[in-house]
Structure 1
Amino acid sequence: MTDTETHHAGGPPCPFCETAMYKRHCKYVCPQHGVIIDCSDPFR
């Protein structure tokens, strides 16, 4: 795993399961549900 692939826990909670998401490449990813938030989302 490279430095750019490192998972950073402690992001916002997943809206489906309340698990802390991790940030990866401008996305917030839930370990259970996958990508939830993308920083290119205009509605966020």
Structure 2
Amino acid sequence: MNEEAGGRPCPRCSRQLYHRHCKYVCPDHGVVYDCADTFYYD
């Protein structure tokens, strides 16, 4: 699986997000940021 810990925190719980393909995923809340979102930045 292509997954690496990212530097940004989850906006809901502040846990570290994982970068998976074009998405940032929270272990508790699932996908939080997606590259299709207009506010996405890497």
Determine if the TM-score, normalized by the shorter chain, exceeds 0.5. yes
Provide the rounded CA distance (Å) in 2 between the counterparts of 1:11 and 1:40.
Answer: 20
Structure (1/2) with the larger helix percentage: 1
RMSD of Structure 2 on Structure 1 (CA):
1.2
Unaligned runs of 5+ in 1: none
Identity level (%)? 57
Q: What TM-score, normalized by structure 1, do the two folds share?
A: 0.77
- Corresponding residue for 2:23? 27
Q: Is 1:38 matched with 2:34?
A: yes
Give 1 or 2 for the bigger CA radius of gyration: 1
Count of aligned pairs: 40
Provide the rounded CA distance (Å) in 2 between the counterparts of 1:24 and 1:43.
Answer: 17
Q: What TM-score, normalized by structure 2, do the two folds share?
A: 0.80
